[in-house]
Amino acid sequence: MKLIVLGSAAGGGFPQWNSNAEGCRRARTGDPVALSRTQTSLAVSADGRRWFVLNAAPDLRAQIQATPALWPTAGLRSSPIAGVALTGGDVDALAGLLDLRERHRFNLYATRSVLGVLASNRIFEVLAPDCVTRLALPLDQTIALADPERDAPALFVRAFAVPGKVPLYLEGPNFDPEKYTEDDTTVGLELWQDNGRKDGGAHAFFIPGCAAMTERLAARLAGAPLVLFDGTLWTDDEMIRLGLGAKTGRRMGHMSVMGSDANGTGGTIAAFRALGIARKIFVHINNSNPMLLADSSERRAALAAGWDVGHDGMELEL
Ligand code: MLT
Ligand code: MN
């Protein structure tokens, strides 16, 4: 299985258009210490020829342009993209669908609730139904990712609920920030090749948004060869402390790399420490997260804890 990190930043990207914070200023001037990042999206393939895109970030058009594996190779109109699968209904997960509107055949996988979001927004009808087939991603069931151009499926996926919240634009006046969802609102995706059986074959997890580590999630991830995981904030209150916003990571539905205190209690590094995962990579990294800066003590601490900080164009193979 081949994977390409198309984008590694959280919603807004790095630099974010309206942020004048130091990290964004450095990224804007091309400082290699503050490498620019587009919003999180992952391409996955069994053979390096046909690809599925996990989350259609608002930057998808530029991501395709930056990724030769996703360029057309056959005839006057074609694309190696066989399908798209979504982990939620946030803008940064689905706005890029609008870039895929030029009558290309592909399969679009999302959970029932995210399909509901798409169905209730008529703008997504630019994905003509005779080209784009919308398919339900069931929870906790392995399904083949079907390629409209090929009979035999080469990749399999299983979606599972993770703690999360409804998309920002659906919060509404009665939204309770203390209550996480743990249903098909926010999911992680487990991917693998072979026969659809999880019998030791190479498998990878893509979890760009997760509000908390639960026992169930820890058990699911234990021993995995590869996990790409929510790296939104370094500390839960960093947006407030830096004067960039009023929300904690918890309020946004994201656990933080270090959690809420200097000891890292409740943070992602601590939560993963005993899980025995071979390769751990942060994605969906917010522009305020100091680990984005290659010369920061936070970057060193993440690497020392056995994590990689994902970057756009990062290629992985299992
Ligand atoms: C998030 O991950 O918290 C969302 O993408 C926020 C947003 O919609 O910008
Ligand atoms: Mn997001």
Query: Is 227 a domain residue?
Result: yes
44-62: b (≥16 Cβ within 10 Å) or e: bbbeeebbbbbbbbbbbeb
Of all protein residues, whose CA lies closest to atom 9 belonging to ligand 1? 11
Of all protein residues, whose CA lies closest to atom 7 belonging to ligand 1? 11
Query: Is 133 a domain residue?
Result: yes
Query: Is 318 a domain residue?
Result: no
Count structural domains, the chain.
1
Query: Is the pLDDT confidence value at 196 over 60?
Result: no
Counting atoms of ligand 1 from 1, which one is nearest the CA of 209? 2
The alpha carbon of 90 and the centre of ligand 2 are apart by a number of angstroms equal to 6
**Looking at beta carbons, which pairs linking 259-262 to residues 24 or more positions away fall under 8 Å?**
259/235, 260/235, 260/236
pLDDT in tens, 99-117: 999 999 999 999 999 999 9
Please, which pLDDT band fits residue 177 given cuts at 50, 70 and 90? very high
Q: What is the pLDDT of residue 108?
A: 98
Q: What is the pLDDT of residue 261?
A: 82
- The CATH number that applies at residue 236 is 3.60.15.10
pTM over 0.85: yes
pLDDT in tens, 112-134: 999 999 999 999 999 999 999 99
Least confident interval from 17-31, 79-93, 251-265 = 251-265
Q: What is the mean pLDDT of residues 185-190?
A: 98
Write the CA distances from 143 to 93, 153, 301, integer angstroms.
Answer: 21, 10, 38
Write the CA distances from 5 to 26, 37, 71, 234, 286, integer angstroms.
Answer: 22, 10, 16, 20, 16
Q: What is the pLDDT of residue 152?
A: 87
Q: With H, G, I as helix, E, B as strand and everything else as coil, classify residue 170.
A: helix
Q: What is the mean pLDDT of residues 255-270?
A: 92
Instruction: Give the binding-site residues of ligand 1, using a 6 Å CB cut-off.
Output: 10-11, 90-92, 168, 209, 252-253
The alpha carbon of 64 and the centre of ligand 2 are apart by a number of angstroms equal to 19
Query: Is the pLDDT confidence value at 199 over 70?
Result: no
pLDDT in tens, 20-70: 999 999 999 999 999 999 999 999 999 999 999 999 999 999 999 999 999
pLDDT in tens, 218-232: 999 999 999 999 999
Mean pLDDT, the chain, as a whole number?
Answer: 96
Please, which pLDDT band fits residue 200 given cuts at 50, 70 and 90? low
Return the best residue to mutate from 39, 171, 233, 252 for the ligand 1 pocket (most ligand atoms within 8 A of CB): 252
CB 285 within 8 A of CB 279: no
Please, which pLDDT band fits residue 312 given cuts at 50, 70 and 90? very high
Q: What is the pLDDT of residue 195?
A: 59
The alpha carbon of 92 and the centre of ligand 1 are apart by a number of angstroms equal to 6
Which residues constitute the domain of residue 255? Answer: 2-313
The alpha carbon of 12 and the centre of ligand 2 are apart by a number of angstroms equal to 8
Ligand nearest to the CA of 165: 1
Query: Is 160 a domain residue?
Result: yes
Ligand nearest to the CA of 167: 1
What percent of the chain is modeled with pLDDT above 70?
97
Cβ-based burial of 63 (10 A; exposed 0-12, middle 13-18, buried ≥19) = buried
Q: What is the pLDDT of residue 202?
A: 79
Ligand nearest to the CA of 164: 1
